[in-house]
Amino acid sequence: MLLQDQVAVITGAASARGLGFATAKMFADQGAKVVIIDLDADASQAAASQLGGDHLGLAANVANEQQVNAAIEQVLAKYGRIDVLVNNAGITQPVKLMDIKRDNYDAVLDVSLRGTLLMSQAVIPTMRRQRSGSIICISSVSAQRGGGIFGGPHYSAAKAGVLGLMKAMARELGPDNVRVNAITPGLIQTDITAGKLSDEMRQSILAGIPLNRLGDASDIAGAALFLASPLSAYSTGITLDVNGGMLIH
């Protein structure tokens, strides 16, 4: 198994059809002890229980430093180490440029960008002591192409910020043998996209995807497994596109 006895923390992973839960399930199947962190304690615990075995569900707002640190303290109290962090938590808003208000901007940037920073800061001291660790940041194709199907410009900005932060962390943490990488999903079938694509819109999107299908959550989970495992031991600071070829250039 690729992650036997590794402790993996995944944020925003309580939704059954989300990228985070698919990643949690794949990690658990590969031997990891998985910690699901989401806003609702009951939902996090229920998701963790679905994985079977010795897994943990905790509540925390990733944009709240005190809640983040408290959650990580609980992880360390139970397992004593953290090997993998997947910064998956994020929100999107279909808001046009001139309609973005401060509340919109703060909400999206706080979760995607500030949350990635705070969660990473919380686990880095442990990973440094261990002289090992993998941090995986979920960005978006929207960061690369300037907009997407559902997210507004502030979403693109937040996810682009995640890529810059990832590279800076990778550069700084490399000497500690802590790897930091990012995944940029294309259009993936999740709760966020469910019921929002008309047949006409779907066909238009597929015309621009060489693999001629929308992505599944398991596609992102597989990429995360690669980046979490020794298979990517010499990779840090990379952006792994998982978009069916829609950004070939």
pLDDT (0 to 100) of residue 192 = 67
The whole model's pTM is what?
A: 0.97
pLDDT at 197 exceeding the cut of 90 = no
Q: How confident is the model at residue 150 (pLDDT cuts 50, 70, 90)?
A: confident
**Percentage of residues in the chain having pLDDT higher than 90:** 91
Q: Which amino acid is at 3?
A: L
Using DSSP, state whether 137 is helix, strand or coil: strand
pLDDT 10s digits, 10-69? 999 999 999 999 999 999 999 999 999 999 999 999 999 999 989 999 999 999 999 999
Catalytic annotation, residues = 155
Model confidence over 91-136: pLDDT tens digits? 999 999 999 999 999 999 999 999 999 999 999 999 999 999 999 9
Contacts of residue 10, defined as CB under 8 A and 6 or more positions apart, other chains included, come to: 20, 23, 24, 27, 34, 35, 36, 37, 85, 86, 88
HSE-up (13 A, CA, CB side) for residue 96: 2
Identify the pLDDT of residue 198: 81
CB 133 within 8 A of CB 123: yes
Residues ≥6 apart with Cβ < 8 Å to 29: none
| Cα 215 to Cα 213: distance, rounded to the nearest angstrom | 6
Is the pLDDT score of 229 beyond 90? yes
Q: 7-242, what's its fold?
A: Rossmann fold (3.40.50)
**Percentage of the residues of the chain whose pLDDT score is greater than 70:** 97
Query: Is the pLDDT at 191 greater than 80, yes or no?
Result: no
